[in-house]
Amino acid sequence: MGTVQDIAAFVTEYTYDVGETALSRCIDGRYKENAPDSVAVPGADIGELFAVCALEQKFACAVSVDQAFQALVELVGGNNNLRMHTDDHSNEKGEFGGCGHVQLVVKSPEKYMIEPSQVQEVLKLFHKAHDAGAQDEVLAGAHAEDAVLIIDGEWGVAPHGKAFIYHHTFANRRRHKFVRLLLKHSAVAIPSGCDEHYLYQILSEAAEDHLNETILRLAREKPMYLVKLLGADTADVESLGIVGQA
């Protein structure tokens, strides 16, 4: 996938209908033909909860991790719809050890503006969820992604081992729903006079910071593209440069 034309051909070959799903998967490129019809975000649902945790340090908004987790469970339609992943060669790292985003947060929580105690609380909740039936998908093989794709538009793209993929449009849409549930569950204390839109804005900023940090560390020196899907078989591709280069 060395040219803009290659990227356009790839994404239009592997588009799929996301529909109204609130389910997630990771930005990891190793999802193959069985890629779920879901929204690609860093770390899947574990990563979404990490982004909420960052609101405490970044914006001085008190966060109840447990209540945020309950909001997330409601968003996806129950415990068994929570999504996370590992891979087939990271057993020594423990559960979720094959998820690069999760491992980066565990190793360097300060870079993600999360307290180590919050990281452990999140992992404990997902361990319990996994034991109760939540899906921990096992991805096969080593990373071989050639690029990072930021997808805008009304279709998802399955990576087929070729690229790290972030579904920007769908992640934002899912976040709007999540914010309403965070407020319903009193999971985040926002300043007096602020509203749902404010929480959406700051959560989006925290989530984008996490995406950028993980892309920088997992995909350094790889090309990054903004892909605007104009139809299931039509894409406008713009180069965003090389990851890690100014």
pLDDT in tens, 131-146: 999 988 888 888 999 9
Give the chain's domain count: 1
What confidence score (pLDDT) does residue 38 get? 87
Token pair of 90, please?
A: 């990271």
pLDDT in tens, 119-134: 999 999 999 999 999 9
pTM: 0.94
What confidence score (pLDDT) does residue 145 get? 95
* Domain, as residue range, for 30: 4-242
Report helix angle 100-107 to 116-131, nearest 10.
140
Tell me the backbone φ, ψ of residue 102, rounded to 5 degrees: -60, -45
d(CA 26, CA 66): 22
DSSP output for 1-12: --SHHHHHHHHH
Enter the DSSP assignment of 27: S
What confidence score (pLDDT) does residue 91 get? 61
What confidence score (pLDDT) does residue 141 get? 87
First to last CA, the chain: 22
What confidence score (pLDDT) does residue 231 get? 81
Tell me the backbone φ, ψ of residue 87, rounded to 5 degrees: -140, -175
Find the length of the chain.
246
Q: Give the residue from 48, 110, 118 showing the smallest Cα distance to 84.
A: 48
b/e map 139-167, b = 16+ CB within 10 Å:
beeeeebbbbbbbbbebbbbbbbbbbbbb
Residue ranges in the chain whose pLDDT is less than 50: none
d(CA 86, CA 9): 29
Decide: 152 and 90 in contact? Cβ < 8 Å: no
Place of tokens 């990771």: 26
Q: Give the residue from 219, 233, 237 showing the smallest Cα distance to 151.
A: 237
What confidence score (pLDDT) does residue 90 get? 73
